[in-house]
């Protein structure tokens, strides 16, 4: 789950949480210039894929990656 409220998502039972940008726009940042926003979004997807591929013993919060 990509969310700006990571600890809340973990407490509610989400095992793989990726730290998102803000509540109104977890998967991007409209204040950024378009190419930087695109890089941010690619990084969030990469972080999410890494989270999916990680074997977990307990819930974990992941960060986005550099694009």
Rounded to a whole number of angstroms, the minimum distance from the CB of residue 43 to another protein is 17
Please tell me the distance from the alpha carbon of residue 67 to that of residue 57, in angstroms, as a whole number.
28
Q: Which of residues 37-66 bind another protein (CB under 8 A)?
A: none
- Residues contacting residue 35 through CB under 8 Å, at least 6 positions apart: none
Q: Which of residues 10-39 bind another protein (CB under 8 A)?
A: 12, 22-24
Compute the C-alpha angle 44/35/41, nearest 5°: 10
When the beta carbons of 20 and 51 are compared against another protein, the nearer one is 20
Contact footprint for another protein (CB under 8 A): 4-8, 12, 22-24
């Amino acid at each position: 789950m990509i969310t700006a409220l990571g600890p809340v998502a973990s407490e509610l039972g989400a095992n793989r949480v990726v730290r998102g940008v803000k509540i109104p726009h977890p998967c991007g940042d409209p204040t950024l210039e378009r190419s930087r926003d695109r890089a941010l979004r690619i990084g969030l997807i990469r972080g999410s894929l890494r989270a999916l591929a990680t074997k977990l013993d307990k819930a974990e919060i992941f960060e986005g990656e550099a694009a």
